[in-house]
Amino acid sequence: MLAAGFLTGLLALPITSRAQEMIYLYPEPIPNAKASNIKETETSPGIWKDITKPTLAYFKPEKAEATNKTADTTAAVLIIPGGGYSVVVYEAEGIKTAKAFAQKGLAAFVLKYRLPSDAIMQDKKIGPLQDAQQAMKLLRENAAQYGIDPNKIGIMGFSAGGHLASTAATHFEQPVIDNPKNTSLRPDFQILVYPVISMRDSLTHGDSRSSLLGKNPSPQDIQRFSNELQIKANTPPAYLTHAADDRLVDVDNSIAYFEQLRRQHVGVEMHIYPKGDHGFIFKQPGWMEPLFDWMKRNNWLQP
């Protein structure tokens, strides 16, 4: 049965040509929100900012033969586009990726999340994480509605969206949302694409850190949101990909995360391209093929 907030969301948004369903994450009031007159805007085609009502766009699996035939369910991927925590690159990193997963028989959900802002949030540091955790909770609690396996729900993030995805993958035991059913917020796997991982001076992407933590973050916040420092043995298995010549988000973010996962004996695979810079996916045809192979080997995608 659908949760009340979930059903409200389904009824509130029209189905679009780009997704089978659009879902509001929360019933009113939205947690951690301030009253404001800020309106969501599309700054250029497919790029959004000033999001105050976060949503999920659902893309249904297109190939029945790729789903889990015995249980009649499929794995799902929660996709978090990047944008430096200042915009959401919704179309290019979100929608296009979701369509690629759907063509392979996976359920895909694109998160349009609230960007950290003192103007719309009481505590901007946790706003994006609230939306990621709420999305994971809704998918798991309503898995039957979407024909997805509640034990095969992963998270994927690009750039600053990779920071949010890796935060969700390392902070799931620290809920920042109401969770009365104690639903697991742990993603079953994580996929990070040229991700911002760390908030430490030596690694971080400065604009992402300033947007999330402010110009002068405390040592405690830097530690808390440096996700390479938050890895434990129960961190979800990971797939990482990056370009070695990334001039915006240093590849050492992925390398540091890989090393800590390996030390904790968490399954991890990493693909580093020698060239491509930031956003290499737009110049690298076939970049998802090694990812699909990894998913097949781990039984999240049926061969």
Which residues pair with residue 107 across a beta bridge? 76
Q: What's the pLDDT tens digit per position in 192-232? A: 999 999 999 999 999 999 999 999 999 999 999 999 999 99
Domains of the chain with CATH codes: 4-297 (3.40.50.1820)
Measured between alpha carbons, how far is 62 from 29 in angstroms, rounded to an integer?
35
What does the alpha-carbon distance between residue 48 and residue 40 come to, in Å, rounded to a whole number?
7
Alpha-carbon separation of residue 173 from 165, 183, 237, 254, 256 (angstroms): 14, 11, 16, 23, 22
Report field, pTM of the whole predicted structure over 0.85 = yes
Residues 6+ away with beta carbon under 8 Å from 233: 264, 265, 266
- Say what percent of the chain tops pLDDT 90: 88
Helix 160-170 and helix 206-213, axial crossing angle in degrees, nearest 10: 60
Instruction: State the maximum Cα–Cα separation within the chain, in Å, rounded to a whole number.
Output: 53
* 3-state SS, residue 79: strand
At residue 21, the 3 state secondary structure works out as strand
| Per-residue confidence (pLDDT) for residue 2, from 0 to 100 | 37
At 22-69, the pLDDT tens digits run: 999 998 899 999 999 999 999 999 999 999 999 999 999 986 544 444
Arithmetic mean of pLDDT, 115-125: 97
